[in-house]
């Protein structure tokens, strides 16, 4: 089944057929050097020169044909090698309706197609949908299935993050989780409410117990037993008020995105299952809302985790690491070959690296190298940060084993990662991704709003280790 059926939106790509490609209108994606050298269609070149088209990055010039019909379009790439890698996304927003094909020697066809697909994204759940946009006929040299899969996964992550908390609480996140599992015939189990205590997930329960919708741990299994074990854990805090240490209104405005870790691991799981990778996949999402009521957990409380470590609550707004701790402990009980967690965990990560460069943490040198290479290869920015051992002292508490909010305010992303590390067995290959899951500015391939981060690089690493 197409992944687009899961996200309930039309594909930005035309059906694959020779007839479709032949009938598609050409887009000549060119640099100023191409215009000077005259290296493309003669009629389009003459029109470009007559119109004074300079091939500035992202500029579009429609090319007329006989009888007032379109003959194609010119698309500027700017100076050779200097354009945004996914500049093709601008075409999805500027070309008129119809089927198009891109002709260029300057940018890889697969990169142009991926940019077009990601740039076509619109979140229109709460308003009248825009008119049908252009569709792209991909070049024969492009791995069309891979591009469609990546674009659909990015759209899934964005949709989940963009949906406000009144429609994306723990109940709705569970429904989305089950929908993904059903689409790919995966198995789901859920531990909900008071059962979290009896089943040994006390910190997930404590964080979510103040909300109207019960806290829960979502678990999905797919693949073949005996295959390499891959476990994905995603922070699913559907809204974060900060708890009793309440956030100011300005900091609370985008807290619908605090389940961005869950959204991204679900999108990554979609890619893995859609590609049929030979892995034993397990997905864990602690789904909660950090709310305020008489039953809310308090500053100064001491919680006992699933692992048995005690945690002093020095700030109820540092709740994500608490729910992840129980989930990571549970994940390690089955000795995964690779354990990945993704979370919108700290503002400190954004202070250090900004919104578009998520840090990741791992002690596995081979994994770190593979992620760094994949990040560059697929243009999915990531940056390794250190699990700096001397900072472990900052995670210690006065009356408990650990604090959830070290004093001092320094190295907040690192100390959060070191906190999580205490719940991962030493022999486990593990990486933690402290993502933002949000694009604060329009980009050629991404409007302002929810964003997928790191999943294409992760898929590149996983699929190379375990090719279908």
Beta-bridged to residue 232, according to DSSP, are 283, 340
**Residue from 122, 199, 221, 247 carrying the catalytic annotation:** 247
Cα separation, 204 vs 77, whole angstroms: 49
Question: Which of 139, 131, 140 is CA-nearest to residue 103?
Answer: 139
What are the Cα distances from residue 77, in Å, to 57, 154, 458? 4, 24, 29
Give the C-alpha separation, 433 to 232, whole Å: 11
Catalytic hit among 229, 235, 321, 421: 321
321 carries an active-site annotation: yes
Phi, psi of 120, rounded to the nearest 5 degrees:
-75, -10
What is the number of alpha carbons within 13 Å of residue 307 lying toward its C-beta? 24
Provide the annotated active-site residues.
Answer: 247, 321
């Amino acid at each position: 089944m197409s992944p687009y059926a899961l996200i309930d939106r039309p594909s930005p790509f035309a059906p694959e057929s020779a007839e479709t490609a032949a009938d598609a209108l050409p887009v000549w994606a060119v640099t100023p050097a191409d215009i000077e050298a005259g290296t493309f269609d003669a009629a389009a070149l003459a029109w470009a020169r007559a119109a004074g088209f300079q091939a500035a990055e992202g500029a579009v010039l429609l090319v007329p044909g006989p009888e007032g019909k379109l003959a194609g379009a010119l698309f500027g790439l700017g100076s050779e090698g200097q354009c945004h890698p996914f500049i093709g996304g601008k075409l999805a927003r500027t070309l008129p309706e119809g089927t198009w094909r891109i002709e260029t020697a300057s940018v890889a066809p697969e990169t142009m197609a991926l940019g077009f697909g990601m740039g076509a994204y619109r979140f229109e759940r709460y308003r009248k949908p825009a008119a049908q946009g252009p569709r792209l006929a991909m070049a024969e040299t492009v791995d069309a299935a891979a591009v469609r899969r990546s674009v659909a996964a990015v759209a899934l992550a964005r949709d989940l993050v963009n949906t406000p908390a009144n429609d994306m609480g723990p109940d709705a996140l569970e429904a989305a989780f089950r929908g993904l599992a059903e689409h790919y015939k995966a198995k789901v189990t859920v531990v909900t409410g008071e059962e979290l205590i009896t089943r040994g997930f006390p910190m997930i329960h404590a964080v979510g117990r103040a909300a109207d919708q019960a806290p829960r741990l979502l678990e999905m299994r797919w693949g073949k037993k005996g295959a390499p074990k891959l476990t994905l854990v995603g922070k699913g805090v559907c809204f974060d008020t900060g708890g009793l240490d309440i956030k100011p209104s300005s900091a609370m405005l985008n807290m619908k995105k605090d389940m961005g870790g869950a959204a991204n691991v679900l999108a990554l799981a979609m890619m893995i299952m859609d590609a049929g990778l030979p892995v034993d996949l397990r997905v864990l999402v602690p789904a909660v809302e950090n709310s305020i009521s008489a039953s809310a957990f308090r500053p100064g409380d001491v919680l006992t985790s699933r692992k048995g470590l005690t945690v002093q609550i020095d700030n109820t707004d540092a709740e994500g690491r608490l729910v992840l701790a129980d989930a990571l402990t549970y994940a390690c009980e089955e000795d995964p070959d690779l354990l990945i967690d993704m979370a919108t965990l700290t503002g400190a990560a954004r202070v250090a690296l900004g919104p578009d460069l998520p840090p990741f943490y791992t002690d596995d040198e081979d994994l770190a190298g593979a992620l760094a290479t994949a990040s560059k290869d697929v243009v999915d920015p990531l940056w390794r940060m250190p699990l700096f051992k001397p900072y472990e002292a900052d995670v210690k508490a006065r009356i408990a084993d650990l604090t959830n909010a070290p004093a001092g305010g320094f190295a907040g992303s690192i100390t959060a990662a070191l906190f999580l590390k205490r719940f991962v067995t030493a022999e486990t290959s593990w990486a933690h991704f402290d993502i933002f899951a949000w694009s604060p500015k329009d980009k050629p391939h991404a409007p302002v709003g929810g964003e997928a981060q790191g999943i294409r690089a992760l898929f590149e690493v996983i699929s190379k280790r375990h090719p279908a």
